[in-house]
Each structure stands twice: as structure tokens, then as C-alpha cells.
Structure 1
Amino acid sequence: MRHPIPVRTRVLVPAIAALAAAGTLTGCLSTEPKPDHALPAPTSPTAATEAAAGSLGAPGSACALPVSFGLAADWKPQAVKAGDDEVFAALGKQGPATMVCEVDAKPAGNIGYLRVWTAGDSPARTALEGFVKAAEGTSKVTYKETRAGALPAVEVTYTVYNKLMEESKEERAFAVAAPKGTVIVHLGGLDSQEHREMLPALELARTTLKPL
């Protein structure tokens, strides 16, 4: 599903907290059933590197992180800072993790975000399990061992019930314990179809990840 959506700056406000928790901050909603689509084939590290249109995480990039990874074309990153406002701060916390960066897919034609969270020095599995348990309405949770670049990582796939859409949607995340801190990279989306169309961006981040 492609959406000709113009680039615009996102502003977090309490009125859209429910949409933020659902994985998207857009007002474009639909309750029509979406057809089932096969998941994209895994991306090889070489292909992923070639597909990267930029990188994120290193000093001087849009978000300074404990790791760096490749960005898909036209995805727009922005650092997230909760500040002193309690409502804003609550939106940026999930279990042991704090949101530090989000990458908007709308300029690339999809409705969703790739969000980066940090979780101190927690083991990757512990941080990821706490992150998922803190989400509301989760089901079909499956963990597996994988790699993020050259580092061992843990990946989770699960579904979340979206009250606004009155349906469940797929979500996915991976966690890695880097020397400078544990990182969770999460991909949501407006619905499962949007999520599946954006999976190559998550796979690009995972296969090109490097510790800093």
C-alpha cells in the first residue's frame, strides 16, 4: 500500500497518545479488511548494505545511538526527547526501554515508524521481554536468536490489538547488547499490510548494525 503523503514535522501531543501507542501517529484510518501478503524474503547483508541510502546512530547523525545502522531510502529520522513533561515522558517509556529516535516511513510512502529504544545495560533478551510485556493487547509472541550485524541479538514477532482499528496487527523488534548500551529497534505500522511492506527497512537496520 503506497501513500503519497507529504513530508511534515511530527509534533507529539497528548491527544494522539493512543495512536502513538498503536505504532503510528497518523489520522488516516481504515477499518476495511486487508488481504494477506507473504512476508518479504530475508535480505542478505551485502544486499542490505547496497540498499542503504544513509546511516543513523553515529555522532553527527540525526540520532546519536550506541550503534549505527543503514537507513532505507526516504525514511526520515528524528531524535526523541521527552523533556520534563510527564505526559510526553510516558509516551517515550515502555517497560525498561526509553525511546530515543524514530524514523518516519511516510516520505517513503508507508504509514509507520522504525523506533529506536535504549535499555541501559540490560541483557538483550531481558530488555526485549520487558518491552513486549509492557505493551497492551499482545498475543502470538515468538522469540528467536539471531544476529544484528556481527553481534548476537534476539528478535521477537507478535501481534497487538488495535482498539481504534478493531483488529490485531503484526509488530516486530530486535534487541542487541552493544558495548555502549542495549538497543531495541522496533517496527510497528498502521496495520499488518503496512508492517509487512516496511519489513525490508527493519531487516536493513539489523543486517547493517554496528556497535559504536
Structure 2
Amino acid sequence: MRLLALAGLGAAVLALTACESNESVWTAPGTPPASSAASSAGPSAAPSVVQPAASEAARVGASGSGCELPVTFGLAESYKPKAVKVEAGSALAELAERGPFTMVCEIDAKPAGNIGFLRVYTGSSDDLRAGLTAFAGDDAQGLLFRNVRLGALTGSEVRYKAKDPVEGALEQERAFAVRAGSDVVVVALDSFDSGEHQAMLPAYELAKVSLRPAS
């Protein structure tokens, strides 16, 4: 539910997401990343469930797409992108900045029937996992990481739980980071609750498998 107060801010179906050979297993912080699911013998490894990806109805990232980004990726049907402009020192800046990253785009899932956003951040980090740890914040619980194939690129993904600021319940959170030129791009699944998180996973997985560097 993180940042849902910012709601006013701004083709064939892919049967499966990247195969297990393209994604390492989930591991806890401080554990050397495994190269494949076959190396998941350690106690910190968590099983990885292959999620279906939504079909691509449009793309975001290019000029004129709603948000101009260092990467482009596919959007599920009815997901609506809008650029976010953050002025340093503004009230919005405190909400839109997470670790070394600043929100530049939010993709509204409400027109598709879900309460939440895919949010895109840009910034810099020498280490993707360190950047994602800072992005998740000090209150994040149960962080797990894995290396992932993101379309034509390779990046890192984190999943964790964070407290709902309204009700205090622990909710699922997930984000991936990729290096694109001089920038690091983070795409986060920011949903109302864990049920909406599951419903939005196909759109998030579509972003992963369809991601390309912007030309």
C-alpha cells in the first residue's frame, strides 16, 4: 500500500515468465547469489514459482508513451502510465524518494480493475542489491533477492514485507532493478494489499520479460 496516497500523480499472451534457467533462486541478504535453481540447496533459498505474464497491450518508456525512461517495457491492458515530476525539497519529494532512487513514472492499475501501481524510479547505485536494500527501507522484513533476466538485460529482484501505514498489517512488496546506461532503473509493484499484489503480478512479470533499453 506504500505511496497509494499519490494516486493522483502522475500480441499474443506470454504463457510464462523467464524460465528458471534465467532466474536464480531467492536468497537472503549476505548469501552469495545462486546461478540457477539447481544450486538451491542452502537453507536461505526459497522456492521460486513461475508466474504467468500478461499480454502486452502497449509499451511505456519511449517519447510520447506517457513516461520517457531509460528503458521500455510492455503494459498490460488498461494500465495507464503518467510521468511524475519531483521538485527537490517539496512535500512530494519525501514520499517519492526511496533510498538513492526518485519516482519518475507511475502506472495506474485501477482502469484494469486493481488497486495499485507499477512505479518506476531512477537513480544510481554501484551495487543493485545494495540499492534495492536501501529502496526497501529500514522497516522492510524478510528480504530475499535473486538475479533475473529482464528482457535483453540482467538485473536483481527483491521481495519483502512492509507494514501497511494505515492498518499496520504486513503486506507483500516486490521490485526489480536494472542498469541502463548511467542510470539504475527500479520497477516496483505497489499494491493496496497482498490480494491485489497477487492480482497485479502478471502485469509486473510482463514488465520484466519485455524490458528493453530505450533506443
- TM-score w.r.t. structure 2 length? 0.74
Q: CA deviation at 1:23?
A: 3.9
Gaps of 5+ in 2: 8-14, 20-51
**Equivalent-residue separation in structure 1 for 2:142 and 2:169 (angstroms):** 14
Residue equivalent to 2:17: 43
**Equivalent-residue separation in structure 1 for 2:16 and 2:197 (angstroms):** 15
Residue equivalent to 2:172: 170
- Alignment identity in percent? 43
**Equivalent-residue separation in structure 1 for 2:210 and 2:57 (angstroms):** 12
Q: 1:26 to 1:118 in 2, by over 3 A?
A: closer
Residue equivalent to 2:157: 155
Paired residues of 1:23 and 1:113 also in contact (CA < 8 A): no
The alignment's C-alpha RMSD in Å is 2.3
**Equivalent-residue separation in structure 2 for 1:159 and 1:122 (angstroms):** 24
Q: CA deviation at 1:150?
A: 1.6
1:65 aligns with 2:69: yes
Count of residues in Structure 1 that have an aligned counterpart in Structure 2: 175
Structure 1 runs (4+) deviating above 4 angstroms are none
Residue equivalent to 2:109: 105
**Equivalent-residue separation in structure 2 for 1:53 and 1:141 (angstroms):** 32
1:53 aligns with 2:57: yes
Gaps of 5+ in 1: 1-18, 28-40
1:128 aligns with 2:102: no
> Match for 1:164: what amino acid?
V
Residue equivalent to 1:80: 84
Paired residues of 2:60 and 2:67 also in contact (CA < 8 A): yes
Residue equivalent to 2:195: 193
Aligned with 1:207 (options 196, 206, 209): 209
- TM-score w.r.t. structure 1 length? 0.75
> Match for 1:169: what amino acid?
E
Paired residues of 1:123 and 1:182 also in contact (CA < 8 A): no
**Equivalent-residue separation in structure 1 for 2:77 and 2:203 (angstroms):** 9
